[in-house]
Structure 1
Amino acid sequence: MRFPGIRGFALLTAAVLGAGLGAAPSATAAENPAATCSVAQQMITAGDYWVANGTNLAANDWQNATFHVGNLALVRTTGVSNHKTLPWAEANRYLLQTDPKTPYFPDFEAAGEAYLDLYTYFHPDPPILADLRKRVDDEVATVQQGKTSYWNYVDALNMAMPSFARIGVLDNNAADLAAMAKLFRYTEKQAGGHGLFNELTGLWYRDAHYVGTGTFWSRGNGWAISALAKVLQVLPASDPSRAEYLRVFKKMASTLRLVQRPDGFWNSSLLNPFDHAGPESSGTAMFTYGIAWGINAGILDAARYQPTVTKAWNALSTKALQPSGLVGYVQPVGGSPATAKKTDTAAYGVGAFLLAGQQVAKLTPACQPA
């Protein structure tokens, strides 16, 4: 389904209902004129390529979860649906992955964020959240018993933290938010002996293996700033841990602005331009998403940070995004910096690109409603 333009809420409603997604998103989320908004067109091109050519599209894993969170951001931004996310969620029966040996492994919880987006913006049917809600409830009970070390690698923040925040707010459940704060504090201050957040640099180590090494992985830090942006979007001002989340978010943004490459990307190893030098788009897209959201939310100063976002989106949309629609230079799955090639792509890289586009579109005059 393609439209010559987005003419307000009525047209979007028809598009979304035609896609079988259920209730339409709010008008303010999706009145961007797709015909004149280059960001919207770039998002559509990237999404279309992945759903036509991507690999392992069925699994309810963290990679596909990241894509589908971005894919729903695409629908909300452009009013155009490729009709893939709802069937994916339905085929997986809105379930999370599980393993009895590691029942609260954060990667297994990532699909919950996509289910929350379906529920919140398109299809508010309670069964969508049943498995996620049970997982959070069960995990919170163990946190209250003193088990706080589940988030012992930085990626875990994005895999699990947004769902904890959103379920806690949705259910008005202070216990969920308190457990989230304890889990975050472990990651920040205790994992690896002294915590994964390095106060001197304002960056995160990936896991205990890297604590004290000086290696700060781009995508690992991308997961962290994305998680914080998503949590800050929903967390009430009265939450006792909000100030700490905001402090870390701002400190990260300040450092990231300084270490951005001249070409707009960030290096795979953030502080060492000689370690796997070259473009890396997944971390770059996550930084773009987080920093652009910070500007849109009035948290980050536009005069200082807008050039960072502009350079980053130019790199993503003119070099990472290729004419075919392939989003390249995505570092392959792994727990450490690595070189990314032009042809390297993955679901999480495309999803991060789409999320970045959502926030960049909000900063782009040509993408605003007439």
Structure 2
Amino acid sequence: MRFLGSRGLIAAAALAGTLVTAPAAEAAPASCAVADAMVSAGNYWLEHGTNLAAPDWQNATFHVGNLATVRTTGVSNHKTLPWAKANGYLLQNDPKRPFFPDFEAAGEAYLDLYTYFHPDPPILADLRSRISAEVASVAQGHDDYWNYVDALNMAMPSFARIGLLDQDESILDTMQKLFHHAEKEIGLFDEATGLWYRDARYVGTGTFWARGNGWALAALTKVLQVLPASDPRRPEYLRVFTKMANTLRFTQRGDGFWNSDLLRPWHYGGPESSGTAMFTYGLAWGVNAGILDAARFRPVVDRGWKALSTKALRPDGRFGYVQPVGAAPGPAKPADTAAYGVGAFLLTGQQVANLTPGC
């Protein structure tokens, strides 16, 4: 269940363009093991994590998950709003790379704050300004900003949600141009395998990075959650999502994890939790939404969650086996953890809770 609050329901309804009349759901009960795991992992990171202040992509991923925990469990550690305020609700900025997608990732956390908790216009001011400027730049022919697969998660959900919130087709059209350039013109999406290459350097190499594909599946999941069924861009996003899902169903390891190098189990063959978390998140949402067949995909989700919650998550709340920052497949040790891995785990819990009796 998701704990939205009355203002959150109103804002969510505005975003989706529909009227919500049902009352807010109650918080998940104390007997929900999924909720317990989420709270434990989030609190451990806030107590023991590093570099918690910056509005970077790592902290943004954590705070998107942290707010998902509040909405799922009703339990708040009251850390995301102070983090956002301390950063002035600003995105990272570099004049040499004005539209670098990593610098836009905090926008999704700000959108969640605005949509579900604090609908105050200043929260979205910098994000709106950045997206507006990027729309103008793409209109001038610069459509290559999303030239690595991580970019889809860092920027695409914010484009979709601001475009819908402001009823601005130019934003949604720009999102599609940037996606098409990455998917087709650079060729990052491999139709034969249903997987994404990390960037142009890897096209044709057969190297498909779990976390990179996790970013892609997470981005598509978030966009499909908000795009109306009638949106002309939706069918292609849904096609890619389902094609990825079918490949991932067959590449999951017996222990519930996915390999860091998806099609080469002998290459860094140990558990890796950040890609596994994002895959489990996307597939769980697909089952919840009725997009993926439950008989085929629910067992995949269950195995993924069991791996994440019983092996990657330690009893003290440390979430391990997170491959360190990189741009290619690599090893992950039991104690390796990071903000983005924890955030992905929390997002996964939100969707798994919706599938779990008693939660």
Give the alignment's TM-score, normalised by structure 2.
0.94
- 1:131 is aligned to 126
- Distance in 2 between residues matched to 1:34 and 1:339, nearest whole Å: 37
User: Match of 1:238?
Assistant: 230
User: What corresponds to 1:328 in structure 2?
Assistant: 320
In the superposition, relative to structure 1, how do residues 365 and 80 fare at CA in structure 2: closer, same or farther (>3 Å)? same
Residue 229 of structure 1 corresponds to: 221
The equivalent of 1:19 in structure 2 is: none
CA 1:30–1:43 in 2, change beyond 3 Å: closer, same or farther? Answer: farther
Question: Offset of 1:126 from its aligned partner?
Answer: 0.4
Q: Which runs of 4+ in 1 moved over 6 A?
A: 26-29
- 1:92-111 to structure 2, matched below 5 A, reads 92-111=87-106
Partner of 1:366: helix, strand, or coil? coil
Change (3 A) 1:77 1:96: same
Aligned twin of 2:243: 251
The 1:308/1:176 distance shift into structure 2, 3 A limit, reads same
Helix, strand or coil at the partner of 1:275: coil
CA distance in 1, matches of 2:251, 2:241: 16
1:214 aligns with 2:201: no
Residues 13-64 of structure 1: per-residue CA shift (max 9 Å, x gap): 6xxxxxxxx9455877652433010000000000010011000000000000
The count of aligned residue pairs is 348
Residue identity (%): 73
1:58 aligns with 2:53: yes
Partner of 1:345, secondary structure, is: coil
Once residues 231 and 120 of structure 1 are traced to their aligned partners in structure 2, the CA distance between those partners, rounded to angstroms, is 15
The letter for the 1-side match of 2:304 is A
Task: Establish whether residue 268 from structure 1 lines up as the match of residue 260 from structure 2.
Answer: yes
One of 285, 295, 309 as aligned partner of 2:277: 285
Q: Provide the secondary structure at the position in 2 that maps to 1:365.
A: coil
Gaps of 5+ in 2: 11-21
**What SS is found at the alignment partner of 2:296?**
helix
Query: For the residues of structure 2 that align with 1:189 and 1:240, how far apart are their CA atoms?
Result: 18
Distance, in Å, in 2 between the alignment partners of 1:84 and 1:359 is 22
Give me the whole-angstrom Cα distance separating, in 1, the residues matched to 2:28 and 2:229.
Answer: 33
**Residue 239 (structure 1) shift:** 1.7
Map of 1:1-370 to 2, 5 A cutoff?
23=7, 30-191=25-186, 195-367=187-359
Instruction: Say whether the 8 Å CA contact 1:43–1:354 is kept in structure 2.
Output: yes
Whole-Å Cα distance in 1 between the matches of residues 46 and 345 of structure 2?
A: 14
Question: What whole-Å deviation, never above 9, does each CA across 1:133-156 have from its counterpart, x for those lacking one?
Answer: 000000001111111000000000
Equivalent AA in structure 1 for residue 58 of structure 2 = Q
C-alpha contact 1:205 1:211 (8 A) present in aligned 2: yes
Q: Is the 8 A contact 2:29 2:358 kept in 1?
A: no
1:163-214 Cα shifts (integer Å, max 9, x gaps): 00000000000000000000000000112xxx10000000000001111000
Alpha-carbon distance in structure 1 between the residues aligned to 2:313 and 2:185: 38
Structure 2: how far apart are the matches of 1:329 and 1:114? 24
Alignment-mate amino acid for residue 174 of structure 1? E
3-state SS, counterpart of residue 265 of structure 2: coil
Amino acid at match of 1:303: A
Query: Aligned partners of 1:280 and 1:29: how far apart in 2?
Result: 36
Aligned counterpart, 2:17? none
The 3-state SS of whatever aligns with 2:37 is: helix
What is the alpha-carbon distance in structure 2 between the residues aligned to residue 291 and residue 142 of structure 1? 34
Q: Displacement, 1:92?
A: 0.2
Q: Is the 8 A contact 2:8 2:115 kept in 1?
A: no
Verify the 8 A CA contact 1:29 1:77 in the aligned structure 2.
no
